[in-house]
Amino acid sequence: MASFLYRLGKFSYRRRWLVISIWLAVLVAVGGSAAAFHGTMSNNFTIPGTETQRMADKLKEALPDASGGSASVVFDAGDAGFDQAKKDAVSAALTKLEAMPDVQSTVNPFTTQEQLDKAAGDIAAGEATAAEGKAQLDAGRAQLTAGEAQLAATEQQLAASGLTPAQIDAQLAPTRAQLAATKEKLDAGDKEAADGAVKLALGKRQAEASEGLRFVSSDNKAAVAQVQFKTSINAVDPAVRKEVQDIVQGVSSAGVTAYASKEITEDVSEIFGIAEIVGVAVAALVLILMLGTLIAAGLPLLMALIGVAVGVGGTFALTSVIDMSSISPMLALMLGLAVGIDYSLFIVNRHRGQLLAGMDGEESAALATGTSGNAVLFAGLTVIIALAALVVPGLPFLAVMGVAAAATVGVAVVVALTLTPAVLGLIGRRLISKRAWAKAAKHNAEPGHEATDRELEEKRSSGGWGGLVTRHPWVSLIASIVLLGALALPASQLRLALPDGGSEPVDSQAYKAYDLTRSSFGEGMTGPIIVVAEFPGGLSENDAKNKQYDVADRLRSVENVVAAVPVALSDDHRTAVFQVIPKEGPASAGTVQVVSDLRAKGTAIHDDLDTTIGLTGQTAGNIDVSAKLGAALPPYLAIVVGLSLILLLLVFRSIVVPLLATGGFLLSLAAAFGAVVAVYQWGWLGGIFDVANPGAVLSFLPIILIGVLFGLAMDYQVFITSGMRESFMHGESAKHAVRSGFSHAAAVVTAAAIIMVSVFSGFIFSHLTMVRPLGFAMAFGVLIDAFVVRMTIVPAIMYLLGEKAWWLPKWLGRILPDVDVEGAKLDRSDRSKTSSEELVH
């Protein structure tokens, strides 16, 4: 592989304009495709086959009008409260919303609250009317009975007087007709009373089901309206979301402030913001300080941007045919920038050092591609494999996310191996400043400088951080493990969920909507649970309604359920929909328990009421996704760890090094989890990281962090340890090889880690709050892994083990292929004979 990459580097250097032209053509083609074919991204994290998805499909089939996604808008009237003018302004805005083609319906809070408030009075009035009617009916029955008795007595008297039956009938016919009419009227009254009693009973049950539910706050200062769309909430176009916000915010002219919920305000159409640009700027500063010139510093940045443009552009081009969450291109962007800069930096730094040592430019670019490029290829493959393995848990949105990020990393590797040497050929000597050239020329001209270089190299390897660690290996090892163990302690409290409005920035409209809803109506109103019930066939309308209230009573009996309200019934009386309001918010542990208890209650409901229930909606769906991701975590971790052991065994031909690398990865992973829990779940340093409302950790953060951190940790393991192995293979003692190999790699790995941390840190303050904990986890994980694990624990243990670190059973050594990651066996004489024609042919 090293020889192939050497020839590839030489070809790219010589045919630089061809290579650059090809990449420009690719860039234009991908950009055009992204512009022409991109679709709408969403945050749709549903999982096919789950109960949530089955119930959503059932609802769409049986009650299409109730199957669309819903969101809320909260109206704040201020201290003065709602007067009629303010109510009219809100009602007018909701009427405008209903006229939108994408809106199915709206729930006017004032009309609904008025109905709820009237319900108790109407029931009382109905009961009074029913009692009065019953009294009248009873009196009428008594009169009818008395009239019938009087008629019978009269008939006997007439018969005794000698009248014929015909004469009696003729005389009593008017009285009998009058009594028959009275009886008919009383029978009708009884039926009407019975119907009224049924309606009254249903009304009472409706009022009981709605008890505790409000749409206008008790202090008359806030009102919450529901907006139902014709499609799922994730399929609502950003332009429609913006139009909804513009319409409801029109109430400001009446002195009312409107806050749309997160479902409406969330805009996932843009993935790059100011915070991300700051992260890239910090990376640029590090490159300038390390490489010395703007041209040299700009080269890795340019390579990373081209790789990201192609990778993320290709991802965007597929959004019209693939259901893609907003975090997919964000993850691809995050990783593409970080690894793109690092991979090009490794090659550029090697090339720069070789040029200063007097090597020819073409030979240096080829050799840098064959050596550092070989390590880049392997490091990139580890990241790609780890990300591509995200398809293993069987979660579609996670698979798309992993494949998109893996493809972008793959593009970054190809850019580093082909476009970097081509641009190096274009730049030539301008890569290095005149001052550095003059200093190098003077140094190379000095007689005996080779011995001086070796002496300086020896002094450098025994000093610095590597020298300190190897002089005090036990202290370094124990201190590092204690530090990582302390950082990992909070990880035991890790709780997973998808974010709600409470995780948004405090100055955002979504957070204000969440906060006002929580304070005015209860936290549960921010995330209602949808329950779908399937009734037996053949029920009348009244029977179906009674069945609805029977089910609602059972649902309301679940602990921490505030209300369970029937909201829809299908025309065939077979499917009913309920809105269950939990006591706590959608991402809380209490609501997770409510969902579990509701499902457990389903067994009793089925046995007692012959009714099957299932849960759906955003809240239940998010909980299902989090549970599924949590269950997928252990097998995925096992796959990644197993992969780590096999790959590192191939690369380093050692038993100890793979175990050490994997153990270090698990330590840094646990520390990263602990830090995420402390900041985003417990709220430590929340003011610094803009965590206004600490809560559960993003549900797919752990599985993504495992894949990404594994790949990046192996990057640093390769660049740190391969130098040690090369020194050891060239005859140095095992302990000395640790120092010399560390000194060769320390500067570039430090710069690479700082760059990666800077890029990831830029996402900690992203405009997409879902990405923030992911950016923090990756930045902190890389920081810990690079500086504590790879640059402290690894050299300390390898120095303590000495030659035992490179032990490999002979039988295994014969089986394993020699990968030669650093290109240590690349023959210089063969290199001089290599030509671009050999590569072509």
Q: How far apart are CA 705 and CA 713, in angstroms?
A: 11
Residue 767 lies in a domain: no
Residue 375 lies in a domain: yes
Distances in Å between the alpha carbon of 581 and those of 149, 331, 530, 590?
Answer: 59, 34, 9, 12
Residue 364 lies in a domain: yes
Residue 583 lies in a domain: no
Give the residues across from 496 on adjacent strands: 697
Residue 472 lies in a domain: no
Q: How far apart are CA 321 and CA 452, in angstroms?
A: 62
Q: What one-letter code names the amino acid at 77?
A: A
Residue 668 lies in a domain: no
3-state secondary structure of 766: coil
Report the relative pairing of strands 561-569 and 697-698 from DSSP bridges: unpaired
DSSP state at residue 49: T
Residue 19 lies in a domain: yes
DSSP state at residue 223: E
pLDDT digits (tens, 9 = 90+) for 465-509: 888 898 999 999 999 999 999 999 999 998 887 777 777 778 888
The CATH number of whichever domain residue 360 belongs to comes to 1.20.1640.10
- C-alpha 773: how far from its chain's center? 10
The count of structural domains within the chain is: 1
3-state secondary structure 527-579: CCEEEEEECCCCCCHHHHHHHHHHHHHHHHCCCCEEEEEEEEECCCCCEEEEE
What is the pTM assigned to this prediction? 0.77
pLDDT digits (tens, 9 = 90+) for 712-746: 888 788 778 877 877 777 778 888 888 888 887 88
Q: Residues 6 or more apart from 137 whose CB is under 8 A from it? A: 186, 189, 190, 193
Percent of the chain whose pLDDT exceeds 90:
19
End-to-end CA, the chain: 17
How many degrees, rounded to 5, is the angle at CA 21 between CA 20 and CA 23? 65
**Under 8 Å between Cβ of 96 and 251:** no
Q: Residues 6 or more apart from 76 whose CB is under 8 A from it? A: 221, 222, 256, 257, 258, 259, 516
**Under 8 Å between Cβ of 367 and 831:** yes
| Residues of the chain below pLDDT 50 | 827-841
pLDDT at residue 828, rounded to an integer: 45
Residue 335 lies in a domain: yes
* Residue-number span of the structural domain to which 332 is assigned: 1-37+294-430
Judging by beta carbons within 10 Å of its beta carbon (0-12, 13-18, 19+), is residue 622 exposed, middle or buried?
A: buried
**Under 8 Å between Cβ of 723 and 822:** yes
pLDDT digits (tens, 9 = 90+) for 503-526: 777 888 888 998 998 889 888 888
Q: What one-letter code names the amino acid at 837?
A: E
- C-alpha 8: how far from its chain's center? 39
Which among 321, 329, 323, 340 is positioned nearest to 270, based on CA atoms? Answer: 329
Tokens describing residue 378: 């392997």
pLDDT at residue 830, rounded to an integer: 45
Please provide the size of the chain in residues: 841
